Structure 1
Amino acid sequence: MTAQSLLQDDPLDDFDRRAITLEDVEKQVLVSGTGPAVIVMTEMPGISPHVARFARWVREAGFTVYMPSLFGRDGVVPSADEGAAVFRRACVSAEFHAFAGNGSSPVTQWLRALARLAHQECGGPGVGAVGMCFTGNFALSMMLEPAMLAPVLAQPSLPMDDPAAVESPPEELAAVRARLDKDDLTVMGFRFEGDKFCQAARFAAYEKALGKRFIGRVLPDSAAKEDGLPPFFESHVTTPHSVVTVHLRDEAGSPTLAARDEILEFFKTRLSV
């Protein structure tokens, strides 16, 4: 993969931009690669160069990446103010449920349909998905789609107002747990120890709901990249947070690089023909 600055806008010209209509809603989806499908859902404040770098790693591991545009400007490194505005709009959008008691975000219905479509187009045993930060729990909600086999929750941050809760309501968690047990599947989760947006209580809630089907990985804060962060993170994300994007140390022996490799291996194991 050709190295490029992660603090400059990314043209994303190695992805095909497709307008995909599902559930009577059209969204732009960036698609690239060959092999079984993996849906990469962006963190705040949009498909940044860091998110695109992770998507390219997934592609190079032998998968077709489907990266839906859910908020923000694709490929852009926004200012701190623009990033904060994207975040505020998402919090009040009808597509997302950012706060406790509102249940799963409605956009997950569209994402389940995308998983079905991706499986039809790419074949293989099924589909993988990774959600990050604001979209972290979406990969879990997508397990109600039979094509979904490999969900990864990277620093799931919703609901924002209750660190001990998860976005999925009890009936959804029960249905997901039943599906995991029936098909002998697991859910992977990743967070930094001192992350204020995804705290230990949230992983404890996942463990209580999913039991041994939830595999949580907690990285030390010392593993996080500290310099050269984009403006939104410099201003608004004051603890280690983004395990496989902004706070990943791309160097041999890094725990964050090992986390990335574990995710790629998880996809290979679940989605291999």
Structure 2
Amino acid sequence: MGLLDSWTAGSHTAGGVTHPTFRKGSGPAVIVIHEIPGITPAVIAFAEEVIARGFTVVMPSLFGRPEAAATVRESVRSIAQVCVSREFSLFALGRTSAIATWLRSLARDLQAELGGPGVGAVGMCLTGGFALAMLVDAPVIAPVLAQPASPAPVGKARKADLGLSATDLDAVKDKVAAGCPVLGLRYASDPAVGTRFDTLRRELGDRFIAVDFPGRGHATLTEHRQQEAVDRVLAFFEQRLKQ
């Protein structure tokens, strides 16, 4: 039996772009955006924990092969796929990836269907900053940035960049200042995150909730899972989405 056999397969289309989705659970909506190389068994396991706490989880499949293990070969395959896609901005400074428009549309559709105070979103690694970008023009009120690593941390400027256009950053700051907190998770010595947490603290102030773990691990919720990280995310979703 496949790990996704109990999930409902579907798709979402926005702006002429379609991506497969997997959905399961009931309750307020949470969008789980997978990391490189894709919807791995560890990503599915984390999503199942969110479901068990009373949420409807939707996982878009943006690249990679669902259920494939996080091997070097799968990672190389996914990175190659991302590099040729116009939906992702891996190296550009001060630019929001085009995929954010699609993710915002997905959030709006889920909110219209399920209601409630808003939608949760968690991005990981390459997609970590996408949860922040989803604050713009979408009903996301519980954004989680797990080891945000885009743009690629090559050079001082990219290590600090949030992967947002100036206009989107202003909109994010306005929403955060109006009362929307942002949860961030990382290993303190993870080079992929660069200095983005410093940027987030500077731009968002006290409403950026940083959770640091010692060491040079990377995937806080999946491959290098920290129970405290999972617990903090689940508590954040319950506080924000079950009002």
Instruction: Report the TM-score range of the alignment, normalised by the length of the smaller protein.
Output: over 0.9
Give the aligned partner of residue 52 of structure 1: 44
Give the aligned partner of residue 205 of structure 2: 211
Checking the alignment, whether the CA contact within 8 Å between 1:23 and 1:113 is kept in structure 2 is no
Give the aligned partner of residue 83 of structure 1: 75
* TM value normalised by structure 2: 0.94
Q: CA separation in 2, counterparts of 1:269 and 1:46?
A: 28
Give the aligned partner of residue 11 of structure 2: 19
- Larger gyration radius, structure 1 or structure 2: 1
What pairs with 1:1-273 in structure 2 (closer than 5 Å)?
A: 10-77=2-69, 79-101=71-93, 103-160=95-152, 161=154, 162-182=158-178, 184-199=179-194, 201-221=195-215, 239-248=216-225, 256-273=226-243
- Tell me by how many angstroms 1:159 deviates: 0.9
- Fraction of identical pairs, as percent: 41
Checking the alignment, whether the CA contact within 8 Å between 2:94 and 2:164 is kept in structure 1 is no
- Tell me by how many angstroms 1:196 deviates: 1.4
Aligned in 2, Cα 1:71/1:146: closer, same or farther, shift over 3 Å?
A: closer
Which runs of 4 or more aligned residues in structure 1 lie more than 3 Å from their structure 2 counterparts after TM superposition? none
- Return the letter of the residue paired with 2:221: V
- Tell me by how many angstroms 1:91 deviates: 2.4
Checking the alignment, whether the CA contact within 8 Å between 1:35 and 1:62 is kept in structure 2 is yes
RMSD, matched Cα: 1.5
Checking the alignment, whether the CA contact within 8 Å between 1:133 and 1:157 is kept in structure 2 is yes
* TM value normalised by structure 1: 0.84
- Return the letter of the residue paired with 1:210: L
**Number of corresponding residues:** 239
- Tell me by how many angstroms 1:79 deviates: 4.0
Give the aligned partner of residue 230 of structure 1: none
Q: CA separation in 2, counterparts of 1:90 and 1:211?
A: 32
Aligned in 2, Cα 1:189/1:10: closer, same or farther, shift over 3 Å?
A: farther
Q: CA separation in 2, counterparts of 1:261 and 1:78?
A: 23
- Tell me by how many angstroms 1:120 deviates: 1.4
Q: CA separation in 2, counterparts of 1:134 and 1:174?
A: 22
- Tell me by how many angstroms 1:22 deviates: 2.2
- Structure 1, unpaired ranges of 5+: 1-8, 222-238, 249-255
Aligned in 2, Cα 1:219/1:26: closer, same or farther, shift over 3 Å?
A: same
Q: CA separation in 2, counterparts of 1:20 and 1:64?
A: 16
> Residues 46-67 of structure 1: CA distance to partner in whole angstroms, max 9, x if unpaired?
0000000010001011000010
- Structure 2, unpaired ranges of 5+: none
Checking the alignment, whether the CA contact within 8 Å between 2:27 and 2:114 is kept in structure 1 is yes
- Tell me by how many angstroms 1:173 deviates: 1.3
Q: CA separation in 2, counterparts of 1:88 and 1:25?
A: 19
